[in-house]
């Protein structure tokens, strides 16, 4: 992926050839010059005029934001907000290649125009031209993303479960799709869906593993802390409620004094990536007090949590 401007003639501008430039215009130019414009380079970009390589015939409408006639109605059973996201038709191989080539060419063109922009004496028409080219590239990018939302949905639902909801997998999958659109090399001869599927599956697998690890890490500490708060056997707590219980316990801990909260978090493993519970002796060394004093503070904090339990309906999870 190219992140720097390609070689292009840079026309110098002297103060004598310019009118006074406003501070706002200079600031806009500085933003454009400092912004990275990433694209996949291709030899054809040096000689490609507008419209060349558009075998599909859909580029002008998409690039100009006049692609409403390309949308279709989705009749499959999906919630309304998902149906709206899936109203772009699936791209053919030719359309896909043309869209990616054109999107990257427009970004290449924006970089060429940027090399001709003077930071001290920018012209409004130069900035407008760069902005127009980037907006056209963005419209094509959005069309590609929306045309592949159904792919994300089909993958995301296979990774959804009790620990990782469909909304979580869908959101992560869409973020993955948006990232890989920028990295796909359209000139290698394989379909974008193949490339995107691998990336989306990889990211969703990491999400599921991360959520599972976090849930396991909090289960033991949550059980013991709930048991200490409501004086019931917390091992009966269904696994699906652990996340809700953990959130409730965090809200309760926020009502404690800072030292009390910190001691309970360390003692029950809420403050460690691996869920490791810290001993009273280790906590005592951190605070510079005796081990017995740490135990007293912890017991006092648990007593305060017991008093709060009815307000937070914590015992309802064990009913």
Domain residues of the chain, as ranges?
1-7+20-147, 211-318
- What residue has token string 């280790």? 282
Confidence (pLDDT) at 55: 59
> How many whole angstroms separate alpha carbon 14 and alpha carbon 294?
72
Chain segment 27-74, per-residue pLDDT in tens: 888 888 888 888 888 888 887 655 555 656 677 788 887 777 667 665
Contact 148, 196 (CB under 8 A): yes
Q: What stretches in the chain show pLDDT beneath 70?
A: 1-20, 48-57, 69-70, 72-78, 212-246, 271-276, 312-319
The terminus-to-terminus CA distance of the chain in angstroms comes to 57
Confidence (pLDDT) at 222: 52
Chain segment 267-299, per-residue pLDDT in tens: 877 765 555 678 888 888 888 898 899 889 988
> How many whole angstroms separate alpha carbon 314 and alpha carbon 319?
10
Contact 261, 305 (CB under 8 A): no
- What residue has token string 């909090």? 218
CATH of the structural domain 211-318, one choice from 3.60.10.10, 1.20.1250.40, 2.40.50.100, 1.10.10.10? 1.10.10.10
Confidence (pLDDT) at 215: 60
- What's the pTM? 0.62
């Amino acid at each position: 992926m190219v992140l720097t401007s390609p070689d292009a003639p840079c026309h110098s501008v002297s103060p004598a050839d310019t009118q006074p430039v406003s501070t706002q215009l200079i600031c806009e130019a500085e933003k454009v010059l400092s912004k990275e414009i990433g694209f996949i380079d291709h030899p054809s970009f040096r000689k490609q005029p507008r419209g060349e390589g558009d075998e599909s015939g859909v580029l002008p409408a998409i690039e100009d934001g006049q692609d409403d006639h390309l949308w279709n109605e989705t009749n499959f059973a999906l919630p309304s907000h998902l149906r709206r996201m899936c109203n772009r038709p699936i791209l053919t191989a030719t359309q896909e290649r043309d869209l990616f080539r054109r999107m990257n060419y427009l970004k290449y063109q924006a970089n060429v125009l940027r090399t001709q922009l003077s930071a001290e004496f920018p012209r409004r028409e130069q900035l407008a031209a760069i902005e127009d080219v980037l907006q056209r590239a963005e419209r094509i990018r959005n069309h590609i993303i929306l045309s592949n939302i159904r792919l994300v949905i089909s993958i995301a639902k296979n990774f959804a479960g009790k620990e990782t909801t469909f909304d979580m997998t869908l959101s992560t999958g869409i973020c993955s799709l948006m990232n890989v659109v920028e990295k796909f090399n359209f000139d290698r001869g394989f379909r974008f869906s193949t490339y995107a599927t691998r990336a989306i599956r990889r990211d969703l697998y990491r999400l599921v593993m991360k959520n599972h690890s976090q849930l396991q890490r909090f289960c033991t500490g949550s059980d013991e802390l709930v048991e200490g708060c409501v004086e019931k056997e917390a091992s009966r707590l269904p696994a699906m409620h652990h996340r809700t219980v953990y959130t409730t316990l965090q809200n309760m801990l926020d009502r404690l004094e800072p030292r009390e909260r910190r001691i309970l978090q360390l003692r029950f493993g809420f403050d460690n990536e691996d869920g490791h519970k810290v001993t009273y002796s280790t906590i005592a060394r951190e605070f510079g007090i005796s081990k017995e004093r740490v135990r007293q503070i912890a017991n006092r904090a648990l007593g305060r949590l017991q008093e709060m339990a009815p307000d937070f309906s914590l015992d309802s999870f064990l009913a």
